[in-house]
Amino acid sequence: MSEITAAKVNELRRRSGAGFVDCKKALGEAEGSIEEAIILLRKKGSATAAKKAGRETHAGIIESYVHNGGRIGVLLELNCETDFVARNEDFRELAADICLHIAASNPLYLSRDSVPQPVIDQEREIANAQVAGKPQAVVEKIVEGKIDKWLSQVCLLEQPFARNQDIRLEEHLASVVARIGENIRIGRFVRYQLGE
């Protein structure tokens, strides 16, 4: 087992955004490996977020972001459980980061659940046309793979996070929920682009 130094703990804190004690524990469990500790922290963050997911979110903020010389603008409703957290610097930073991500990635929907069925049916029809002539045994798998890939590109929560392409936005959100200790959810968003 390699030594768990303050420098290692600080490096893990910088990369994960987790607290000092959580980073030290994760490094201990991972026998000093920063990469394994990151995975452990991400798992813990997802588990914590799942526990808090059912709690009501009546507080929050509306965040705005204007980019590219006024050519792209974003409005975001980010909800949390209390006004105390809504005023928290980490919460406000999360809102700003999500706005930046929306401006850069242009998601069309929040999650798979919010994609209207007629839109999915239309994408399925397009995918079927693209694989016409292939053996029927593989057509269904190819079409479902194309639909899955398309959904991961157009759903905000499934997109690679703009500030860390190694994780999806929902994983980043879960890590902030774990750190803050309250349920946080994206209420709604809209992205404007000049001329669209």
Using one digit for the tens of pLDDT, what is the confidence trace for 16-73?
Answer: 666 677 788 888 888 888 888 878 877 776 545 455 455 566 789 999 999 878 899 9
Residue 82: CB atoms within 10 Å: 13
For residue 136, report the phi and psi dihedrals to the nearest 5 degrees. Answer: -55, -30
pLDDT for res 66:
95
pTM: 0.69
Residues of the chain short of pLDDT 50, as ranges, are 47, 49, 52
pLDDT for res 61:
95
- The CATH number for 6-52, chosen from 1.10.287.1080, 1.20.120.1200, 1.10.1270.20, 1.10.8.10, is 1.10.8.10
- The CATH number for 59-110+155-193, chosen from 2.60.40.10, 3.30.479.20, 3.40.50.720, 3.40.228.10, is 3.30.479.20
In three-state form (DSSP H/G/I as H, E/B as E, the rest C), the secondary structure along the chain is CCCCCHHHHHHHHHHHCCCHHHHHHHHHHCCCCHHHHHHHHHHHHHHHHHHHCCCCCCEEEEEEEEECCCCEEEEEEEEECCHHHHCCHHHHHHHHHHHHHHHHHCCCECCHHHCCHHHHHHHHHHHHHHCCCCCHHHHHHHHHHHHHHHHHHHEHHHCEECCEEEEEHHHHHHHHHHHHCCCEEEEEEEEEECCC
Indicate the burial class of 186 (C-beta count within 10 angstroms; 0-12, 13-18, 19 or more).
Answer: buried
pLDDT for res 174:
87
pLDDT-above-70 percentage for the chain? 89
Domain borders along the chain are: 6-52, 59-110+155-193, 116-153
Q: What is the mean pLDDT of the chain?
A: 85
